[in-house]
Structure 1
């Protein structure tokens, strides 16, 4: 064998190995980005992971939640989104998972509106793929769909203003755009906007609070986070806002009540500094409302 042919023969497996390393590295990066998105922002565990005494039961992560969600047209529990092929989403294609996440449509049809697909619509293509990569990296857990499950009726999505379609990666370089992106994925305004007929009123009551929660802490009303100096958070410092978001502590040092305190500790505490700064900057742009 001549020397040129020998070099070519040896180079081929080396090139293939290098290509595999690059691919594996890119996939690992996708998984870690997906982990961040799920754990800091989209909070998939909140509905799709069972809870123990000390919080999420991560040994059974994504196998389905125990909480029941109900309204006039549905009674559902968070489904198994682990990669189990029989009872989870292991047999779903990436396209089917994308449709469920951002369009609220599963293999069996329309998901219940408690699935916050309208908040996930701005996901960039790369971030959506990263979430799917992370879900596929989880341990498959056999856990059949829990009852009750009932879905019927029609509903329309209610995306946040300016966040009705996918963003591109380049647009996130703008701080306010990034803040809107973070706020939508974290579903800030699904709590901090008054509701009309079960849907947030983004047009007139964006950020004004008023949504009522009934939980173990009693009756909790979401607060006003507009820039109003008295009724809202206009007089709060950036550090005070950051503490409320990531630690669940109010301006006066009092602990916030669930669901904000729960989300703060389990998810928003993991926000990156840049995402947190962008979110604060965007919150500052919300016009004052009483």
Structure 2
């Protein structure tokens, strides 16, 4: 009997050891999906030329994200290069930088990094993003330092405690998690409120914010179910096409900064959750 038990215990231990690499790979793959697809980190952190992202420079930074009267924001290098990227940062330091906007030296990261939303990133997803970033090919590419002509706050809030994602079975709640903390759709599609730097979440999805770029000026759409100025008359397939391919209901080509090239790979389940959440928003005409 003891021999049988010992063999059973040994088998379980061997099974656990065999499963360990697959579990680690699962975390990295989740991180890859979050960084490269849903969160579309490369939309800002990958330098671009006239024909799109520069080859071999994925997440290597030194891309001017926005240059306005308040600031000139240049995305940093987030590859594991030790001299010019995040290779010398610990996992805890990188997590704090992503979720709370604080660098290892204690300085504050400025906009347009959406810390108002990233503070809600679930612990497991944040750890997965960091695990994936460790696997990215290091690229030596020093970034220009961002310049802020406006005062930054002392912080973006108190230290973040434990955060868990809503269950995927609750499609609307999980869609809100994807559209808020992860994909930060509401960063562009929600107008600012009375408090400087904070969006008016009572008007989530109403849009109206203008973005200047090589394409001219694009204005964030109303993505609430409003029938006249929003998505109220759109089918789910039309909303999905707009997100994945950047094609409006009437066939017009939509413009950046929407990361269509990234969003094309959103999983069917996550797309369904995002659309369910958008359908749940109060219908507000703009």
Interval of TM-score (by shorter of Structure 1 and Structure 2):
0.7 to 0.9
**Bigger shift: residues 55-64 or 148-157:** 148-157
Three-state SS of the structure 1 residue aligned to 2:72 is strand
Greater fraction helix: 1
Distance (Å, rounded) in 2 between the aligned partners of 1:250 and 1:274: 22
Does residue 229 of structure 2 align to residue 238 of structure 1? no
8 Å contact kept, 2:99–2:115: yes
Matches within 5 A, 1:23-34: 23-34=20-31
**Bigger shift: residues 109-118 or 68-77:** 68-77
Per-residue deviation, residues 66-93 of structure 1 (Å, max 9, x unmatched): 2253456643311111111222111111
Matches within 5 A, 1:211-250: 211-250=209-248
| Structure-2 change in CA distance of 1:233 and 1:33 (3 Å) | same
Equivalent residue for 1:279, pick from 263, 271, 274: 274
| Structure-2 change in CA distance of 1:138 and 1:230 (3 Å) | same
Per-residue deviation, residues 169-219 of structure 1 (Å, max 9, x unmatched): 463321111100110121211111223587453244321111011122222
| Structure-2 change in CA distance of 1:283 and 1:157 (3 Å) | farther
8 Å contact kept, 2:193–2:199: yes
Matches within 5 A, 1:1-290: 20-70=17-67, 74-108=71-105, 109-144=107-142, 146-151=143-148, 153-155=151-153, 157=156, 167-169=163-165, 171-184=167-180, 185-196=182-193, 199=197, 201-260=199-258, 263-264=259-260, 266-290=261-285
How many Å apart are 1:22 and its aligned residue?
A: 2.6
How many Å apart are 1:112 and its aligned residue?
A: 0.8
Three-state SS of the structure 1 residue aligned to 2:218 is strand
Paired residues, number:
273
Distance (Å, rounded) in 2 between the aligned partners of 1:150 and 1:53: 24
Distance (Å, rounded) in 2 between the aligned partners of 1:278 and 1:221: 24
Per-residue deviation, residues 7-34 of structure 1 (Å, max 9, x unmatched): 99xx99x998765543222111111111
Distance (Å, rounded) in 2 between the aligned partners of 1:136 and 1:86: 15
Distance (Å, rounded) in 1 between the aligned partners of 2:235 and 2:280: 14
Can you give the 5+ residue segments of structure 1 that lack an aligned partner in the other structure?
159-163
Per-residue deviation, residues 104-126 of structure 1 (Å, max 9, x unmatched): 11113110121122222222211
Q: Please, what TM-score do these two structures have when normalized by structure 1?
A: 0.83
8 Å contact kept, 1:192–1:208: yes
Per-residue deviation, residues 231-289 of structure 1 (Å, max 9, x unmatched): 211111111111111111111112112223xx12x111111111100110000111111
Distance (Å, rounded) in 1 between the aligned partners of 2:193 and 2:130: 33
| Structure-2 change in CA distance of 1:221 and 1:53 (3 Å) | closer
Three-state SS of the structure 2 residue aligned to 1:137 is coil
Three-state SS of the structure 2 residue aligned to 1:67 is strand
How many Å apart are 1:60 and its aligned residue?
A: 2.0
